[in-house]
């Protein structure tokens, strides 16, 4: 059964059409990063568990910027799922499909989108009640045409996707033209090296450019 409450969380997270995907190394940068993204029109982020600082970053963002929608990315095990929830993250995503993690998230009523790349993975995710999946790695998997083919047999079930990996400001329009796309994952908006160097103005500029690109496709 699909949980409408978790659907509402993802609707809020995806309402801008772009979800910044973040790998941040120092929790001291959490608030400047959140402010830079929000100033650019994207008060939302998927903070990935690719660094040891991820849980602390999520905790600081949720505590100090309550209007900023924080999610967890690269949720690969139950420990990461627990850490994300304890840190206040409102949703989570993973690059692959692990039914153990999906079931745990569903049991907790926590919004979670597993990653899929094949019809078989999509079918399995759907059976567990997922209404949203990450499509990863989107570029390597074949781009919009590949997802169109994979998702077509499931279209009547209302499945939606967040393609990530190989998506950029110059091709996000190709994705967002598809009705099944909730948002695209944007790793280019706040790169690790830019966060490390404190290039907040550049991150704000990237966020604004992404928002404008979305508006051209979805006014």
Active site residues: 46, 134
Q: Phi/psi at 24 (nearest 5 deg)? A: -115, 130
DSSP assignment, residue 211? H
Neighbours of 149 (CB within 10 A): 11
d(CA 127, CA 191): 35
Q: Which residues contact 192 (CB under 8 A, 6 or more apart)?
A: 23, 24, 25
C-alpha separations of 154 from 112, 130, 157, 166 in Å: 19, 12, 5, 24
Q: Would you mind telling me the total number of residues written for the chain in this entry?
A: 219
C-alpha separations of 204 from 24, 111, 123 in Å: 16, 27, 38
**To which H or E segment does residue 186 belong?**
strand 184-186
């Amino acid at each position: 059964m699909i949980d409408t409450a978790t659907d509402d969380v993802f609707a809020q997270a995806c309402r801008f059409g772009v979800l910044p995907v973040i790998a941040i190394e120092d929790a001291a940068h959490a608030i400047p990063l959140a402010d830079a993204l929000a100033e650019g029109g994207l008060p939302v982020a998927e903070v990935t568990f690719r660094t040891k600082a991820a849980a602390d970053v999520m905790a600081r963002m949720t505590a100090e910027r309550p209007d900023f929608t924080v999610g967890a990315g690269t949720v690969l095990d139950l420990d990461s799922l627990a850490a994300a929830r304890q840190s206040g993250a409102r949703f989570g995503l993973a690059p692959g499909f692990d039914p153990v993690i999906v079931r745990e998230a569903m049991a907790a009523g926590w919004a979670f989108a597993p990653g899929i790349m094949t019809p078989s993975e999509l079918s399995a995710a759907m059976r567990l009640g997922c209404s949203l999946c990450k499509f990863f790695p989107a570029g390597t998997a074949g781009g919009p045409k590949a997802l169109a083919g994979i998702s077509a047999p499931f279209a009547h079930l209302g499945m939606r996707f967040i393609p990530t990996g190989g998506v950029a400001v110059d091709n996000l329009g190709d994705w967002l033209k598809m009705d099944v796309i909730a948002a695209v994952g944007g790793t280019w908006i706040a790169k690790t090296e830019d966060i490390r160097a404190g290039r907040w103005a550049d991150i704000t500029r990237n966020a604004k450019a992404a928002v404008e690109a979305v508006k051209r496709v979805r006014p």
